[in-house]
Structure 1
Amino acid sequence: MFTALIAEDSKPILRNIKALLQSTDLPIRVAATASNGEEALEYIRQQPVDILLTDIRMPKMDGLALIEQAKRIYPQLKVVLISGYNDFEYTRKALNLQVFDYLLKPVERHQLLEVMERIIVQLNERQVSDTEMFQDILDAYFRTEMRLGPDFHDQAKIPLVLRKQPFTPGSDSWRQEFLQECLTKAYAPHACWVFPTHTPQQFLVLVNISIKEKYPSAFDCMDSTRRHLLAHGVHASIGGQLQPVEPGKLTEYYRKVSRLLNEQLSIASPLLLDAGDQISLGMPGNGDMEKLAGSFAEMIRQRQKERFALKLSEQLMKWQSGNIRIAELVRFISVMTDTFSTLLSEQDPWNKLKLAEKSKLLIENDSYADFCKGLLDWAEQCFEMLQAQNRKSGYELFQQIDGFVQMNMYSHVSITDLALKFHVSPSYISRIIKRYSQSTFVHYYMQLKIKEACRLMEAKPDMKIKEVSDALSFSDQHYFSKVFKEYAGCSPTEYKEHTFKA
């Protein structure tokens, strides 16, 4: 059923048009009548209608001014102008205001019926596009099954976005059927529709604009909604406004409110966000958080499991007392996930996906205590996976290190170079070499160098000591001789003499 407003200062003409409309079988209800433009505009401000039939010449505010201002409030308004034969110039100006059509006085039934039928066709087409507007918002399955009755289009809609307050009980209550029943009672007699969105535990609520009769402000509406939901065990943060949104702009509006909720939602306090007064400030750019996440990521790379767990436990308590924003918490978890998955993905490409899925579920815990336990358990499992991978692939890594060092024997290779080459920490390189060579990195490296020096002097007896030193990238001949004697038990000269005699 569509709604119409008739603005006409002549009572006989007004009664005639109203009677003609009511005598048709068209799905049109005369919501109100007005005797001047100001009265009509005030009604539209309070409760937009689908169709406006207006005279041109009226006291206080004429039809042209009414059309212009009404269109600003509700651009999709269908306007039919009622004019006399001597109003041609006014009619021409009205057509520039995108008037749907005009009727000449006296209004005849067949003319009115023909114009209204064409308006109904367009309004029905708009209903189809109205359902399409949900495509980028609603849960895909719900959208395909959704059936909006004709009463959905009776009034403009006030939009609200509900999101489950993090770390609160009652996850089972975040169902479309339950919320629809709960809010229908809260807003009665004003109709509302509850839609599940792509985002888990987030719902779009559209309420008839007549709800403005019940609440003087957006805050009052959202606070009353929050209290009513809380009484039914539903903990919600809410973003919205007490002004209707054009159907074509609903997706843009929804994304804006979702973004604002993402930016401002914290772990402790429910949020009531008046979207009409808010601008997006972007995700909180906390440099301290970036440094903190970086320090925890380094602990992961260093495989410092116990220290990581201790520091994380301390940090979780600080976050609770500081009422950290969810966006920052999500960013921290994301850095941890990326760090673990990078270290694990070389062995199992699916690890990154599995870790990301598990980490997303952490935010959905019903209490902060459960979240803390879940995060610590998740981190412990990740460290165990790292340790299992190390046990499995440690020797393989050592073989790769050994091959790389021998291939680059004539260059200078540091433990930092190896760490960069194999994407692990220097301390991990050191532990792997110690485990499989029973030597420190320096001892292992120098043994290989001196072994190669011996091979060179045996293969090329004419090669000078300095040439051997330079070839193997020692800093000077004296240092080379000192290291050679330490590892070979004699000087390079003595080794050459012994080899030559042999």
Structure 2
Amino acid sequence: MFTVIIAEDSKPILRNIKSHLQSLLLPVQVAGTAANGEEALKLICQHQPDILLTDIRMPKLDGMALIEQAKLLAPAMKVILISGYSDFEYTRRALSLQVFDYLLKPVERSELEEVLKRVTEELSRNRQEASGTREISLSDVLASDQLENTVLAETELPAAGFLLVIRRQPFTPKENWERTHLQSVLKLLIPSVRMVLSLREPEHFLAIWDVTEGQQMVNGTGWNGIWEHLESHGISAALAGQLRAVYRVEWPSFCMEGVRFLGERLGVCSTAPLEIQYAFSAEASPSKERELVTGRFTEMILQRQKDAFLLKLTEQLAKWKSDNVRLYDLEYFLSSVLDTLSSINQGLPFKEIPKSAYELIRSLDALSYENFMKELLNVLEALFDHILANNKKSGEELFQQLEGYLSMNIYSYVSIPDLADRFHVSPSYISRIIKRHTGSTFVHYYMKLKIQEACRLIQEKQDMRIKEISDALSFSDPQYFSKVFKEYTGVSPSVYKEQLTEPG
């Protein structure tokens, strides 16, 4: 097992990368996460990780400086850089610091897996050269309880065989999803099946045939015949195999590729048997439609539009059923929804918000996609109700925070997008909160604060010139300042100042 430190200041991106890592069938484990370079450096000193995943642009200590200092603490550590297109020149410079590879944002699961697979293979080779240890074996990808089974004796395993990775289809009953039962059902169709083994990935199995019997099975029943046979016995499964014999030394990588292949192409309603291809195809990349749909729903959350959100989500879930959308895309969508709900729920205790889309889907444990739709809508409606129930209170608290922030930054220029970024809400929500509590638009309220401060300065610092006050309060020019001042006080700044000096 190899340990990983993730350094990324964006919480949604960090959460997405961590979720991807935890879903991969690779010997990697997250030892810690950091929101800036200084935190990452402390974690590296503490854990001595094998791999560092780091963003370039971070507060306190950026990625470039972090890499330089981290290499002194852990010279053998492999570094994978996370960058945006605008950071490409930095990325090229970083490669001179012996960075292993880089990933462009947004980080996709398939790309992350491809890089991590290469880096873990290199780390494994380094360990083997240093200690003379064995290469990865089948026992490394099998479930822990399976390792105690005597069926794994070397004398029982063929030198080569036809292999099939089998996993449970999502949103289906799992009463019959047990290794010995699966093996007995397979033997009803094809008595020559050698064995069925449990893989480390939950609800995944490996079926093995000897070469001769496997070739006959492929030429006769085929993967489609097995799929239909399992379905007829109440076992809804997804299958991934190859139409050739696989040597035993290749079995571990075959299992890992099979799990990955199914994970990327699994449909929410059904999945036809797949032939494993070792090249990473475009199918695993994000679609523009997915990005657009996700953006629309996260915006409805930020706008607190519960009824519209639930109505549109009902329609979208039904469409995804009709399209048999990939589970991968559904999990991406739900991850974004959960991130957005968490961001507007800050400070409000509600433990029921799941930590990830994977956790949410497993917790619902629906027996059909229709049941999943109903249960998901109930969960999200409850989350929305919780947020809206606290909306008045949170709105008052937010306005107090906005008021304090604007007062503290009265000498700067602050825009609605600036406030939205700082307080993690949408710009339109900022506008509504200010309108609700002041009866004015943001611009009128903000200008009123500035003019009140201008009046105070004129009264208390009569030696300040009007231009100096205008510049101090970040107005674009004195003429504009005078115009705004007169709108709020009825007189120009110079007249206001003269009135203060007039007797009586």
TM (norm. structure 2) is 0.64
Tell me by how many angstroms 1:309 deviates: 1.9
For 1:257, the equivalent position in structure 2 comes to 258
Q: Say whether 1:457 aligns with 2:458.
A: yes
Note the alpha carbon deviations across 1:73-102, whole angstroms, 9 max, x for none.
xxxxxxxxxxxxxxxxxxxxxxxxxxxxxx
Following the alignment from structure 2 to structure 1, what is the Cα–Cα distance between the partners of residues 186 and 432? Answer: 61
Alignment partner of 1:173 out of 165, 172, 176: 176
For 1:195, the equivalent position in structure 2 comes to 197
Q: 1:212 to 1:277 in 2, by over 3 A?
A: farther
1:113-132 paired onto structure 2 within 5 Å = none
Q: Which amino acid aligns with 2:326?
A: R
For 1:329, the equivalent position in structure 2 comes to 330
- Matched length: 371
Partner of 1:195, secondary structure, is strand
Q: 1:350 to 1:363 in 2, by over 3 A?
A: closer
Following the alignment from structure 1 to structure 2, what is the Cα–Cα distance between the partners of residues 421 and 309? Answer: 28
Q: Which amino acid aligns with 1:161?
A: V
For 1:431, the equivalent position in structure 2 comes to 432
Q: 1:280 to 1:492 in 2, by over 3 A?
A: closer
Partner of 2:175, secondary structure, is helix
Q: 1:139 to 1:434 in 2, by over 3 A?
A: farther
Contact 1:344 1:389 (8 Å CA) reproduced: no
Partner of 1:177, secondary structure, is helix
Q: Identity across aligned pairs (percent)?
A: 41
Q: 1:204 to 1:320 in 2, by over 3 A?
A: same
Computing the radius of gyration over CA atoms, which structure comes out larger, 1 or 2?
A: 1
Name structure 2 gaps, 5 residues minimum: 1-132
Contact 1:289 1:332 (8 Å CA) reproduced: yes
Tell me by how many angstroms 1:364 deviates: 5.2
Contact 1:238 1:273 (8 Å CA) reproduced: yes
Note the alpha carbon deviations across 1:98-141, whole angstroms, 9 max, x for none.
xxxxxxxxxxxxxxxxxxxxxxxxxxxxxxx9998234322233
For 2:223, the equivalent position in structure 1 comes to 222
1:102-121 paired onto structure 2 within 5 Å = none
Following the alignment from structure 1 to structure 2, what is the Cα–Cα distance between the partners of residues 411 and 476? Answer: 14
For 1:136, the equivalent position in structure 2 comes to 140
Tell me by how many angstroms 1:357 deviates: 5.2
1:82-93 paired onto structure 2 within 5 Å = none
Q: 1:341 to 1:370 in 2, by over 3 A?
A: same
1:309-324 paired onto structure 2 within 5 Å = 309-324=310-325
Partner of 1:204, secondary structure, is strand
For 2:276, the equivalent position in structure 1 comes to 275
Which of 475-484 and 301-310 deviates more? 475-484
TM (norm. structure 1) is 0.65
Partner of 1:290, secondary structure, is helix
For 1:105, the equivalent position in structure 2 comes to none
Tell me by how many angstroms 1:413 deviates: 1.6
For 1:382, the equivalent position in structure 2 comes to 383
Q: Which amino acid aligns with 1:359?
A: L
For 2:55, the equivalent position in structure 1 comes to none
Q: Which amino acid aligns with 2:184?
A: E
Partner of 1:172, secondary structure, is coil
Alignment partner of 1:159 out of 163, 169, 180: 163
For 2:400, the equivalent position in structure 1 comes to 399
CA RMSD, 1 decimal: 3.3
Q: 1:212 to 1:185 in 2, by over 3 A?
A: same
Alignment partner of 1:185 out of 178, 184, 188: 188
Partner of 1:285, secondary structure, is coil
Following the alignment from structure 2 to structure 1, what is the Cα–Cα distance between the partners of residues 485 and 189? Answer: 88
Contact 1:134 1:143 (8 Å CA) reproduced: no
Following the alignment from structure 1 to structure 2, what is the Cα–Cα distance between the partners of residues 467 and 131? Answer: 73
Partner of 1:243, secondary structure, is coil
Tell me by how many angstroms 1:159 deviates: 1.2
Note the alpha carbon deviations across 1:155-179, whole angstroms, 9 max, x for none.
64321111222334x3211122321
Tell me by how many angstroms 1:287 deviates: 1.7
